């Protein structure tokens, strides 16, 4: 079964195991752009509805096979998904060893991993502070 990251401890992150240990993060510098472009798309969508161009507008944004007979609320939700996820990165929290893995770039498979620091945490690779 394919996975997109295997933790150092061996835990295999993949979508088949569900999303319980996965989060989506959007960098603050990108969040404002996401908000602005989302607001622009919302305004354009409502303008298109008012002008009787709804389906044409939806088709410009969402190519086939996106259905045109979806509710307006679904279109708005899909716009949110489209904008938010276009800048998002995965944050994976290993349920076995507590490591955090942060995807370095959207749609890329490189991750940076962080080990838990709490004293007494049973992590064989934790390093004692130098001071």
Of 29, 47, 45, 31, residue with least CA distance to 83: 31
Q: Which is nearer to Zn ion, 89 or 98 (CB)?
A: 98
CB of 108 to Zn ion, least distance (A): 21
Site for Zn ion in 12-71 (CB under 5 A): none
Rounded Cα–Cα distance for residues 100 and 113 (Å):
6
Residue 115 near Zn ion by CB under 5 A: no
What does the DSSP 8-state code read for residue 86?
Answer: H
Q: Which is nearer to Zn ion, 49 or 100 (CB)?
A: 100
- Return the SS3 of 43: helix
Q: Which is nearer to Zn ion, 44 or 97 (CB)?
A: 97
* Six token digits for residue 59: 């088709």
CB of 15 to Zn ion, least distance (A): 17
CB of 93 to Zn ion, least distance (A): 9
Preceding peptide of 92 cis, ω within 30°: no
Site for Zn ion in 85-104 (CB under 5 A): 94, 96-97, 99
Residue 11 near Zn ion by CB under 5 A: yes
Residue spans of alpha helices (H) in 1-131: 28-50, 54-61, 72-86
Residues interacting with Zn ion, by CB under 5 A? 7, 9, 11, 94, 96-97, 99
């Amino acid at each position: 079964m394919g996975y997109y990251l295997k933790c150092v401890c061996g835990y295999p992150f993949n979508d088949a195991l569900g999303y319980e240990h996965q989060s989506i993060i959007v960098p603050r510098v990108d969040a404002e752009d996401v908000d602005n472009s989302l607001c622009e798309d919302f305004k354009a969508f409502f303008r298109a509805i008012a002008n009787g161009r709804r389906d044409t507008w939806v088709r410009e944004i969402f190519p086939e096979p996106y259905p045109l007979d979806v509710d307006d609320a679904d279109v708005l939700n899909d716009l949110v998904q489209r904008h938010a996820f276009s800048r998002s990165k995965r944050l994976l929290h290993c349920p076995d060893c507590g490591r955090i893995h942060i995807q370095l770039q959207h749609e890329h498979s490189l991750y940076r991993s962080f080990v838990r620091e709490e004293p007494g945490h049973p992590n064989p690779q934790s390093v004692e502070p130098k001071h």
